[in-house]
Structure 1
Amino acid sequence: MKVVFFSAKQYDKQFFNRENEKYGFAPEYLETHLGPHIVNAVENGTPAVCVFVNDKLTAEVIAVLAAKGVKVIALRCAGFNNVDLDAAKAHGIRVCRVPAYSPEAVAEHAVAMLLTLNRKTHKAYNRVREQNFSLNGLLGFNLYGKTVGVIGTGKIGRAFCRIMLGFGCRVLAFDPYPDEALEKGGVVYLPFGEVLREADVLSLHCPLTPDNKYLINREAIRQMKKGVTVINTSRGALLNTHDVTEGLKSGHIAYLGIDVYEQEEKLFFKDLSAAIIEDDMIQRLMSFPNVLVTGHQAFFTEEALSQIAEITMRSIDQLCNGKPVSEGVLLA
């Protein structure tokens, strides 16, 4: 059975080929992202395609896939804002995802970004390599005793909360569905605005939906403490990049760490070291000394990639062969 992988990197081949030893599929790996420009490369009779965060499965693309006989769209990620689910349903295409893969991987990366920005270990590393052991400009602050606001307490948010509790932080959270275990552990759920007003550190761990696009905008920033640290390892469009940039310029936001960016499909997962990047907004962000940008690598651990390959291949097998589908993976 043929499965076409889009946005495929060498590490995808490594982990999916290893997992495919159980199934014997015929994988085809394409580096390009899926969109109208390449969808006709899918051969007629292909039962499944596997896609990632920057593939664009619009109604137009899905109609072409359906005409070619595609029955399954497998997302090898948790987010699904790049897929027109209504179009998939209308064409009878099943859509699955990986609802949870080592949530600790993303949570730990968020903590790593927080610690790097605070203690400036990236700057210290570069200094000592030049035999500069001065501490000037490296002053940080204790996380112990600080108030950390967490937006979204799904699996990743829960893991992040537990880590912050371990640091001795006061942890506040906003989520429409509070987690009783977290509450028993010391996390306090408050309305969104109150979390914004009280947090010294704000970390985003919610999916992107039409309702929360630009959740962090000029008005939200105005409610935050002056000197707040903002970390986003979820989806880029949760932040209004222009408003966040203004918050950095005014000093209202003291530190910003982002592993995601709303225009990342043009940048991330590519080597652009010899190219001219025309995106002025990301260039402006990267010019700030108090901003840390990583290229959507929070998920990138051995454990996470193994789980992604395992769950994705199992879901394709289940859907294509009429087997019972594991709980939580189906979107359409």
Structure 2
Amino acid sequence: MTYIPHDIFRISLLKPGIATEKKLPNLHLNFLTKDDISVWNGKQYIASKQLQGLQVIEAKGTFETDWNLDLLSPACFWLHFQFMGRSERDSKLHTALSDNEYRGFYSLSEAHKIKVKTGRTSMVLLGINMNNTAALASEWPRLAKPKTADQPYFSSIHIGYRIKQIFDKIQQCKDTSYSLHHNMHYHFCQLIDVYHQDLNDKDRSLHKEDIVIYHEAIDYIVEHYMDQDINIDTIAERINVSSRTLYRAFQGKHTTVHKAIQTIRLHKGREMLRETDMSVDGIAFQLNFSTAHYFYKQFVQSFGHSPSKERELHQKQKKKKKR
């Protein structure tokens, strides 16, 4: 295993060195120079630059094996743009990025390992030193720093037209001694603003999708509440979504699939108590409650009185109407 040390990152599983040929790679970011190149062997390159609190890393080429890029700045907020190829961070699947995706994340530990997959790759990482995360969150609330590394990471987003427009402007930046870092900080804020808007848009889209899924599931439960094997997995399969997606749709309603099934069965039980002479045990059995006692207990919690009281109240109401 080969390690290439650097101030802000460490590279492993790549052969170090600069190519002896005079021709340099066509860098995606024009302000990067030959002095910023850490790896260049004719097929792939990795370059980086530090701009007064802003870290810039660019990697591009065809890689014959998986390789690792360890980020060494523990107090940074990063935007990771995967223009081509695939990567994942800290060996966690929910951090994976594919062609034309990007996401933001904080450095929450001494080193974050980005594993870049074999094949053609083009990616850019921009990180800003972040000593005051509260200030960032006050302007972009969705980017509040997670309290622990175990919390969910920010969502991945498709690289759209607005991001590409900003990168077009970044590519026009020159390697100047004064204005470069000011321009890059300005463009980085633009990228954060677009990312925050993208997160809001994605959340609204998911919310609309969840509402549709929730009502489809409720319709299915109303129609199939008598099925003995009805549960989150069978409902998800019938309405063609994943169990995780269905769970999220109900979580937004502050309930669960199990509670929804039980509520519909209890309301059907109340209807049966009013309209039939069936015993409480028989109703509990027909509605697939585990025991009559459990049905009785859940009925009292839902309606505030016992099943027998429900029948009594209904009979009294019927007599009043006849008068």
TM-score range, shorter chain: under 0.3
User: Quick check: which one's helix share is greater?
Assistant: 2
Q: TM-score, normalised by structure 2?
A: 0.23
Q: TM-score, normalised by structure 1?
A: 0.23
